[in-house]
């Protein structure tokens, strides 16, 4: 049985199908959103990509990361660790365009959160860790306490018209990706009427700067 610091792996028999996005040593697959290079506040520490937010941030500044490549149908596997009271998120379908200031304007988010201490967890279960943010709540809370690693696997399959989230070995979220069902779901969320939100089936993977310390490691993606 895996310890809290060493969650069980979702390793596929077809290991060659996985593309490594972060191996603990190089962040060359990533860059800052709207930038050519990496923001200085993201570092590699003990084999993890770590965001250590500045004490003060210039007005309008943000340090979100996105992949250099775009993806359509895939399984994304990674581990995340959040600070006490921390908040972050994992995006897909991000359209990097000057008209969109933040990745969340286009990319749906799988929530990364300290459920025990962050106030957003009290704003409804669709804001808790593992949720498709503001749209689909996790079936149960299987996250480990702040400061421990959580293994997250996100499947986005437009061909099948469905996506899902696995957390620490358990399926906790399933959501539709067909246009009609997706649009109906968005219409009931805070994203209703947002120009560009969730419409790009091909886009970048993003990691959110939400002004809190967060770490990611063992990041890989398998195109479907």
Q: Mind listing the pLDDT tens digit for each residue in 3-15?
A: 445 444 444 444 5
DSSP 8-state code for residue 71: B
Mean of pLDDT values over 47-58: 92
Phi first, then psi, for residue 216 (nearest 5°) are -130, 145
**How does pLDDT run across 69-85, given as a tens digit for each residue?**
999 999 999 999 999 99
- pLDDT for the residue numbered 146: 96
pLDDT at 2 over 60: no
Q: Where are the alpha helices (DSSP H) in the chain?
A: 179-187
Residues 6+ apart with CB under 8 A from 186: 135, 192, 197, 198
The pLDDT value recorded for residue 10 is: 43
Q: What is the pLDDT of residue 121?
A: 86
Domain boundaries, the chain: 17-223
**Strand ranges inside the chain, DSSP E:** 19-22, 30-32, 42-45, 48-51, 65-67, 74-82, 87-94, 109-113, 150-157, 162-167, 170-176, 204-207, 214-223
Provide, rounded to the nearest whole percent, the portion of the chain with pLDDT above 90: 87
Q: How far apart are CA 76 and CA 219, in angstroms?
A: 7
The pLDDT value given to residue 16: 58
Superfamily of domain 17-223: Exo-inulinase; domain 1 (2.60.120.560)
User: How many CA atoms lie less than 13 Å away from 187 in the CB half-sphere?
Assistant: 6
Q: Is 119 helix (H, G, I), strand (E, B) or coil?
A: helix
Closest CA to 154 of 137, 179, 141, 171: 171
| Six token digits for residue 73 | 């149908």
Above 70 in pLDDT, residue 31?
yes
Closest of 198, 70, 54 to residue 132, by C-alpha = 198
Report how far residue 74's alpha carbon sits from residue 221's, in angstroms, rounded to the nearest whole number: 7
Question: Locate tokens 């593309």: which residue?
Answer: 19
Total length of the chain: 224
- Gap between the Cα atoms of 217 and 151, Å rounded: 9
Q: What is the mean pLDDT of the chain?
A: 93
What does pTM read for this prediction?
A: 0.92
How confident is the model over 128-163, as pLDDT tens digits? Answer: 999 999 999 999 999 999 999 999 999 999 999 999
For residues 204-215, average pLDDT: 97
């Amino acid at each position: 049985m895996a310890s809290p610091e060493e969650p069980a792996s979702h390793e596929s028999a077809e290991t060659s199908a996985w593309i490594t996005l972060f191996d603990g040593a190089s962040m060359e697959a990533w860059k800052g959103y709207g930038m050519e290079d990496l923001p200085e506040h993201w570092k590699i520490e003990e084999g993890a990509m770590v965001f250590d937010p500045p004490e003060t941030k210039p007005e309008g500044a943000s340090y979100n990361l996105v992949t250099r490549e775009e993806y359509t149908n895939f399984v994304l596997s990674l581990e995340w660790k959040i600070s006490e009271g921390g908040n972050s998120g994992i995006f897909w379908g991000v359209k990097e365009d000057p008209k969109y200031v933040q990745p969340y304007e286009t990319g749906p988010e799988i929530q990364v959160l300290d459920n025990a201490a962050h106030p957003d967890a009290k704003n409804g279960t669709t804001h808790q860790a593992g949720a498709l943010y503001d749209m689909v709540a996790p079936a149960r809370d299987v996250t480990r306490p702040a400061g421990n690693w959580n293994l997250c696997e996100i499947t986005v399959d437009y061909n099948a018209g469905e996506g899902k989230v696995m957390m620490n070995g358990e399926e906790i979220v399933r959501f539709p990706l067909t246009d009609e069902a997706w649009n109906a779901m968005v219409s009931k969320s805070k994203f209703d009427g947002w120009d560009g939100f969730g419409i790009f089936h091909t886009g970048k993977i993003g990691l959110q700067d939400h002004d809190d310390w967060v770490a990611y490691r063992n990041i890989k993606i398998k195109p479907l």
